[in-house]
Amino acid sequence: MTTSTSHIVFENVSKFYGEVLGVNRVSLALPPGVTSLVGPNGSGKTTLMNLMTGLVRPTQGRVSVLGLTPDEPEEFFRHVGYCTQFDSFPKSVTGFEFINQFLRLRGLSSGEAARLTAEAIERVNMAPAAHRRVAGYSKGMRQRIRLAQAIAHHPTVLVLDEPLNGLDPMARSESIALFEALGKQGMHVVISSHVLHEVDKISDQVVLMSYGYVVAEGQIHGVRSEVKEHPMQILVRCPNPHLLASRLFTQEHVVEAKLNNDGGGVLVRTRDAERFYQLLNRIVVEEDFPLEAVAPNDDDVNSVYQYLIGSGGGTV
Amino acid sequence: MTAALARMRQSFTEAPWRLWLAQLGAILRIEIRKSMWRRRSIWIYLLAFVPTLMFGIHALVNPMGSSAGISGDTTVFAYVFQFFYLRVGIFFGCMGLFTWLFRGEVVEKSLHYYFLAPVRRQLLIVGKFLAGLITVALVFNASVLLGFTFLYGHYGPAGRAFVFNGPGFGHLLSYLLVTTLACLGFGSIFLALSLVFKNPILPGIALLLWETFHAVAPALVQKLSVSFYLTQLCPVTIPPEGFLTLFAVLAEPVSPWIAIPGLVLLSVAVLVFACVRIQRTEISYLAD
């Protein structure tokens, strides 16, 4: 299977709305798994998703999803489901009718469409409200029924624009678990979200966007290690943090070693994480130094977002 | 040439016709329900049944036939049909319904659901157009049929004889045909206009002026008017009257064998334009 038939591919894609830039010169190849699109409002996340699904056409470049384009809608939308951020519905429909009528558009029999509708509604825990009119739903219920509509036909590519908006903590956690499970099944799940710490937990890769440009992309750990301006933060928990701190100060790649507030660890900032880990191994082995835990402290989407976009940016 | 023909034949036979038919059925179900039962359609029903109500009252007031007689009432019906049904009722009914088929989805921000379904946009045009056509044709043909029944029904046996043994039944069929063709012609134009203009009311008024005053245009240009074909198909001719007849250019009459296919071709051409147009349509509700 080639990249073009297994990935979502953007080839030098630009989109302008008149003179307004949507996205500029984007080249990406998104593999299966959960991909988070991260960036501030107006950074081009929704444009990228709309380009992916053919709701807007590129001014320049080419987009393909698993080797398909929206010009062959019968095949393309068999594989693709898109839950947009538009909180709107056809008039006077119930949740069930909403999903069912668009399944019938796929040429399914009424029985098959009803079965898939019920299954999708069950999956987002909306069964009790399925036969009520959507106009009477809460924002969270509307969000869930739109999600159900996007997954009802069992797509292999699921595009979700701010899918956690309006959801209560319980529904949010259920949705995240669902996205994670779908990603693990080998599906492409592309999510844009402002709730960074939540999507961070389930993202296999991240695309950081700012002002229509892709600032960074890849696995979050790889992206973090490429941000050279900001030394890596690593938290080492141990019973003798002051001893460890004094040993670390002698190393030129260690920028800062700060005792943790609870006195049970050291927060280290280093320009070379690999050399730091090697040093730590040596200390533990050669000096029998007791360690409780070692973990990166800013190796997440939120930190990378802050470094690259939130506080004046950086370069990769 | 033969190779190109063979390729065309192959793509025709390999096309997923069964799927397209099923999808067309699904679009029709959704759209007819929307067109028939939405609140916005009430004024179309009112517009359609105003003349029916008039003919009903006329029948009630003159239970044994009016003093004008059958031939007088036949002329009245012809006037009402040409000046109310064609130029007001069907025109504005089609304007209200067909311009809303896509504009309504944009205003309600629900067009993207169709665009994200595995349906060709051309099929969406055809489905929505057919749904609109079925709705308006049903409403206005029902109105014409009822009006016709009221008009000749109150003459009793004389009226029945006019309809079933005289020219009445032929008139009725002609009126129903012209009504359907009017819905086809105006419907296709308003559908296309709604894809080009954000506010199709102004071009709609321009079209109304064109359809009303096309008789003063050169004979060849007159053939681009829907009314040109429709008036030729009406069973009762109304002599030209009024100030505009001074400027009217008499175009060569066309036979029904040309008028009907001419109108159908005009509508097909407009729908083909709409199909090309919708291929380039993007979802940007904020701009609307």
Q: Which domains does chain A have, with CATH numbers?
A: 3-224 (3.40.50.300), 231-297 (3.30.70.980)
Is B108 in Cβ contact with A106 (below 8 Å)? Answer: no
Q: Calculate the alpha carbon distances from A86 to A37, A147, B25, B195, B285 in Å.
A: 18, 12, 27, 21, 9
More confident residue, B168 or A170: B168
- Give the residue numbers in A contacting B (CB under 8 Å), as ranges: 17, 50, 53-57, 73-78, 80-82, 84, 86, 88-92, 101-102, 104-107, 149
pLDDT higher than 50, residue A266: yes
Percentage with pLDDT > 90 across chain B: 56
* Residue-wise pLDDT tens digits, B68-97: 788 888 999 999 998 899 989 999 999 999
Strands A8-17 and A20-30: antiparallel
Per DSSP, helices labelled H in chain B are: 2-14, 17-37, 42-61, 69-79, 90-107, 111-115, 121-153, 157-164, 168-196, 201-213, 219-222, 226-233, 256-279
**Is B118–A89 a contact, with Cβ atoms under 8 angstroms apart?**
no
In this structure, which amino acid lies at residue A264?
G
* Nearest chain B alpha carbon to A113: B26
Q: What is the pLDDT of residue A315?
A: 39
Q: What is the tens place of the pLDDT at every residue in A95-132?
A: 999 999 999 999 999 999 999 999 999 999 999 999 99
**Sheet of A33-38: strands edge to edge?**
A80-83, A157-161, A188-192, A33-38, A205-210, A213-218
CB B215 within 8 A of CB B171: no
B282 at A interface, C-beta within 8 A: yes
Q: Which residue has the tokens 């009024």?
A: B242
Start-to-end CA span in chain B (Å): 46
Q: Average of pLDDT values for B26-44? A: 91
Name the closest residue on chain A to residue B23, using Cα atoms.
A105
Chain B partners within 8 Å of A154 (Cβ): none
User: E strands, chain A, where?
Assistant: 8-17, 20-30, 33-38, 60-65, 80-83, 157-161, 188-192, 205-210, 213-218, 232-237, 254-259, 265-270, 293-296
Residues of chain B neighbouring A101 (CB-CB closer than 8 A): 26, 29-30
Its ipTM equals 0.82
**Residue A310 scores a pLDDT above 70:** no
pLDDT at A240: 84
pTM: 0.85
Q: Is the pLDDT of residue A313 over 80?
A: no
Average pLDDT over chain B reads: 88
Q: What's the per-residue H, E or C state across B71-100?
A: HHHHHHHHHHHHHHHHHHHHHHHHHHHHHH
Given this model, what pLDDT does residue B69 score? 86
Task: Name the one residue in this structure whose structure tokens are 């239970």.
Answer: B63
N- to C-terminal Cα separation, chain A: 30
Do the Cβ atoms of A82 and B116 come closer than 8 Å?
yes
B30 close contact with A: CB closer than 8 A? yes
Q: What is the pLDDT of residues A36-90, one digit of tens each?
A: 998 888 889 999 999 999 999 999 999 999 999 999 999 999 999 999 999 999 9
